[in-house]
Amino acid sequence: MSDKTAITPATHAAPPARFSHGVRKGNILQVAGQVGFGPAVEGRAPVPVGPSLREQTLQTLANVQSVLEAGGASWEDAVMIRVYLTDTAHFAELNEIYNDFFADLKSPPAARTTVYVGLPAGLLIEIDALAVLD
């Protein structure tokens, strides 16, 4: 059996509870739910990068990507992406942002599930991912 390795990019603040931003075991990398917080600043609580869905979605995708890369993966390795939205009215805008973001992906896109949830005040989106490496 292979060991589990916790993945925490340098740009990420420590999680607020006992969990890892990502965990790699063998060729599987699970990225925990990421939100639209900008890079960590020591001594300051994380804050969303902006109030719009576009700003938060792009930052959230960048945060997921940094965990993937820190774990030795890329979007090309992602097989499942889950998106958590706070407002059903954001679905069409999310799809536009998402399609633009992944327009240059060379492999087939990952499977995706979108659900509607409550998130802490000011947060509009959370995304997690599962990647399988060769």
Segment 23-51, tens digit of pLDDT: 999 999 999 999 999 988 888 888 899 99
Report the pLDDT value the prediction gives residue 13, as an integer from 0 to 100: 84
Report the pLDDT value the prediction gives residue 41, as an integer from 0 to 100: 83
Report the pLDDT value the prediction gives residue 45, as an integer from 0 to 100: 81
Q: Which residues of the chain have pLDDT under 50?
A: none
* 71 closest CA partner among 24, 110, 34, 25: 24
Quick check: 130 and 25 in contact, CB under 8 A?
no
Chain mean position to CA 102: 14
For the chain, list the domains and their CATH numbers.
4-132 (3.30.1330.40)
| Alpha-carbon gap, residue 86 to 15, rounded angstroms | 21
pTM as predicted? 0.95
Give me 74's structure tokens.
């890329």
The helix, strand and coil proportions of the chain, stated in percent and rounded to the nearest 5, come to 25, 30, 45
Report the pLDDT value the prediction gives residue 1, as an integer from 0 to 100: 56
